[in-house]
Structure 1
């Protein structure tokens, strides 16, 4: 029996609380997972898991052993990473978690370029807007647009890009309801709210004279910016969305930027990863690559156009 492999299987079973989920993630059969756990229990001479047809629980010994296994596997990973660093050859599986819309519209375009440049690195990407427990769920890196919440002191958050927001609406909506001339005029408009943005329905606009915060309201609140975008394109109201979400529609003339003398808030993109003595080269390499990719591809044309 390969003890390290069995430890890795045991850790994923405990973290996911499921034999079948661990098997699916590891690409092996559920019977193979069960067999490795049984062999591991025989090896250590103790019951690690309590299994019934309805639930899976960890014994007291199993919980303590799980903690030690995590530490041992992390040490092995760091040792291999150190060798990779010295050889200058990033390799292995890189597991990334990213915001849904940002991943669909931007990360998806960068991934093929990274894979072409670094063929020894395999990628596993999950798009998810919920808070992710990196270590528990086995991710190497998370990309998040928002101020990061880091209850775990073992994590590092590094800001790698700023993403401007812009007020916009369709020409048809504006022809019917008028163009807002001041931030206060937004109170008279149907404002479409993206609930996961830090500003939600309090929109702050800044010009040379200072900042103004306006509480807006409307008939739509959604936790996905693409849903808000589609409502705006259907002439439903005014939206406050990230540049990468609307730039294509502004260029086509389907959306018009509002209050061009004001700058809406900016969002921050963070790379979040575990704080380890030896950061895996594949993680730092991807962060540097993606930061450079964003500098070249996160267009600022809207920023310039809104000041014209």
Structure 2
């Protein structure tokens, strides 16, 4: 036994909350486990745990050192899974979360096809409604859109696609036959608010001239992009929509681009999972094939975009 093994045992003790609980979890006798932690403290020359009559607490240096043990454990688990990949087909449970509109746009087709190709995987697709930040303690993978990126260090992100958005209006709101409009022409125009930005009435737009802000009058608001789409078609106001959601309406003239030189910020689509937990074989195959699926659709000139619905 070496320091690396004892570091992983330190993690087990801290996570379990006591040496007794860690002993039950690992199957290592309590006296031997206690002695291993003491040996680790002696080797490192630092007190890692404060022992009480019923439980333990971790010292500041103990918490810092335990992070190294956590990394060793995660790397060992990842190595075991990698070795298993050479011989095993994807199998086991896989729980994936995804917003509803994104599911309808492309994930439903991909997920059902994946389930057909890998019958040993018990895939559950949890479709969320409205704005949703998944609790990654309950999911193996979450498909998550974001405008700002996902900086959480406890999350691993695989970027899947960039979703361009457009500024649209119904012909009943703004006559498309008018002269080319500029930002000042539609200042304080009726608009459809969206929960993703806190129903803000000041919209940031991007164009060849740089960035600009447009003040609008929110006549109707919702946290669902499907409802934003419906409201735009009804002429309730200017709206920001992903191209894929309104592409056919633009082609048919039910919606148009009043300011074609200005667009809202694009949204990045991520597959995310906790860094604390290595993805199973099924999870890694799911993400890699989903990325390939999206790339294939992009090559066929199908806009791969989604929403935060």
Do both proteins adopt the same fold according to a TM-score greater than 0.5, normalized to the shorter chain? yes
- Cα separation, 2, equivalents of 1:181 and 1:302: 26
Please report how far the alpha carbon of residue 287 of structure 1 lies from its aligned counterpart in structure 2 after TM superposition: 1.6
- Cα separation, 1, equivalents of 2:209 and 2:290: 35
Q: 1:201 to 1:96 in 2, by over 3 A?
A: farther
Partner of residue 238, structure 2: 238
Q: Give aligned pairs, total.
A: 238
The RMSD of aligned alpha carbons is 3.8
Please report how far the alpha carbon of residue 79 of structure 1 lies from its aligned counterpart in structure 2 after TM superposition: 8.3
8 Å CA contact 2:150–2:157 kept in 1: the answer is: no
- Cα separation, 2, equivalents of 1:220 and 1:178: 25
Q: TM-score, normalised by structure 2?
A: 0.64
In structure 2, runs of 5+ residues without a counterpart are 1-23, 25-53, 58-69, 305-309
- Cα separation, 1, equivalents of 2:303 and 2:259: 13
Partner of residue 57, structure 1: none
Partner of residue 154, structure 1: 154
Partner of residue 44, structure 2: none
Please report how far the alpha carbon of residue 264 of structure 1 lies from its aligned counterpart in structure 2 after TM superposition: 2.8
Q: 1:134-213 alignment to 2 at 5 Å?
A: 134-135=136-137, 137=138, 139-146=139-146, 147=148, 153-175=153-175, 181-197=181-197, 200-213=200-213
Please report how far the alpha carbon of residue 123 of structure 1 lies from its aligned counterpart in structure 2 after TM superposition: 1.3
Q: 1:277 to 1:237 in 2, by over 3 A?
A: closer
Q: Does 1:131 align with 2:124?
A: no
- Cα separation, 2, equivalents of 1:277 and 1:225: 32
Per-residue CA shift, 1:21-43, capped at 9, x if unaligned?
Answer: xxxxxxxxxxxxxxxxxxx9xxx
Please report how far the alpha carbon of residue 168 of structure 1 lies from its aligned counterpart in structure 2 after TM superposition: 0.9
Report which of the two structures shows the higher radius of gyration computed on alpha carbons.
2
Q: Does 1:118 align with 2:118?
A: yes
Give the SS at the match of 1:295: helix
Partner of residue 256, structure 2: 256
- Cα separation, 2, equivalents of 1:249 and 1:103: 20
8 Å CA contact 1:169–1:257 kept in 2: the answer is: yes
Per-residue CA shift, 1:26-76, capped at 9, x if unaligned?
Answer: xxxxxxxxxxxxxx9xxxxxxxxxxxxxxxxxxxx9xx9xxxxxx9xx999
Q: TM-score, normalised by structure 1?
A: 0.64
8 Å CA contact 1:81–1:280 kept in 2: the answer is: yes
8 Å CA contact 2:297–2:303 kept in 1: the answer is: no
- Cα separation, 2, equivalents of 1:269 and 1:275: 18
Bigger fraction of residues in helix = 1
8 Å CA contact 1:179–1:258 kept in 2: the answer is: no
